[in-house]
């Protein structure tokens, strides 16, 4: 089992290398060979716990099947991870480019809006003095009146209604039902 770890780690180093040169291959295969050499030497001593294990593993086909399946599985998984990583990076790059495009469009719209607002600030103003949409000349009372004039007109209309009710009450006379109704109307206009 430990031999599979040694072989897989050295395969990973070989796969992950940017350049495969003589020295890379020398050190990788030298590392694997040195493991088997030291394992064989240690397994040849009678005092060692590993005595005879190397010969048993060397003669068993399961050892080679384990190394083959572990190596190919690892290679498939590693290449799958590399392909997935490359796909993820390409999708990420596409999203980044799409976001850049959206940001550029928003920047263009913002610049157009700023240009339009600066035009609105410096546009020529018509000298008609009329309503903006009707084209009539004159001034709109809601625009030119002060708040004081609006309140005065509202109080005057309320006062004229009150005076009219009192005048009608005086004309009608002493009828109690009519007087009660007029008193109610008068009180509602007074705000009592």
Q: Which range is most confident: 68-82, 114-128, 166-180?
A: 68-82
pLDDT reported for residue 44 = 82
How far is residue 10 from each of residues 35, 36, 77, measured CA to CA in Å? 11, 13, 16
Share the mean pLDDT of the chain.
76
- The burial class, CB within 10 Å (0-12 / 13-18 / 19+), for 7 is buried
CB-based contacts of 169, cutoff 8 Å, min separation 6: 179, 182, 183, 186
Lowest mean pLDDT among 54-58, 71-75, 159-163, 187-191: 187-191
Higher pLDDT: 182 or 39? It is 39
pLDDT reported for residue 70 = 84
Residue 78 in contact with residue 12, Cβ under 8 Å?
yes
pLDDT, tens digit (0-9, with 9 covering 90-100), for 46-60:
777 777 777 777 788
How far is residue 122 from each of residues 112, 125, 133, 157, measured CA to CA in Å? 15, 9, 20, 43
Q: Which range is most confident: 11-25, 27-41, 127-141, 171-185?
A: 27-41
Is the pLDDT at 91 greater than 80? The verdict is yes
C-beta pairs of 26-29 under 8 Å, 24+ apart in sequence: none
pLDDT reported for residue 135 = 47
Domain-by-domain residue ranges, the chain?
Answer: 2-118, 141-190
Q: How far apart are CA 183 and CA 188, in angstroms?
A: 9
Residue 35 in contact with residue 28, Cβ under 8 Å?
no
pLDDT band at 165 (very low <50, low <70, confident <90, very high): low
Higher pLDDT: 116 or 180? It is 116
pLDDT reported for residue 102 = 92
pLDDT band at 126 (very low <50, low <70, confident <90, very high): low
Helix ranges restricted to H, the chain: 2-16, 22-43, 53-59, 61-121, 141-144, 147-172, 176-190
Is the pLDDT at 121 greater than 90? The verdict is no
pLDDT band at 77 (very low <50, low <70, confident <90, very high): confident
Is the pLDDT at 119 greater than 50? The verdict is yes
DSSP class of residue 123 equals: S
pLDDT reported for residue 159 = 73
């Amino acid at each position: 089992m430990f031999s599979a770890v040694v072989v897989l780690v050295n395969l990973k180093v070989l796969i992950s290398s940017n350049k495969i040169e003589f020295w890379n291959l020398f050190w990788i295969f030298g590392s694997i060979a040195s493991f088997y050499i030291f394992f064989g030497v240690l397994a040849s001593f009678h005092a060692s716990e590993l005595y005879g294990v190397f010969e048993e593993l060397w003669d068993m086909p399961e050892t080679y099947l384990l190394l083959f399946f572990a190596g190919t599985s690892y290679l498939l998984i590693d290449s799958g991870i590399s392909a997935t990583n490359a796909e993820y990076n390409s999708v990420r790059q596409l999203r980044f480019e799409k976001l850049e495009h959206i940001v550029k469009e928003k920047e263009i719209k913002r610049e157009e809006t700023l240009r339009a607002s600066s035009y609105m600030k410096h546009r020529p103003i018509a000298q008609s003095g009329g309503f903006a949409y009707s084209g009539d000349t004159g001034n709109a009372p809601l625009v030119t009146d002060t708040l004081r004039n609006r309140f005065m007109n509202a109080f005057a209309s309320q006062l004229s209604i009150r005076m009219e009710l009192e005048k009608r009450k005086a004309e009608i006379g002493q009828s109690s039902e009519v007087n009660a109704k007029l008193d109610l109307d008068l009180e509602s206009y007074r705000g009592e």
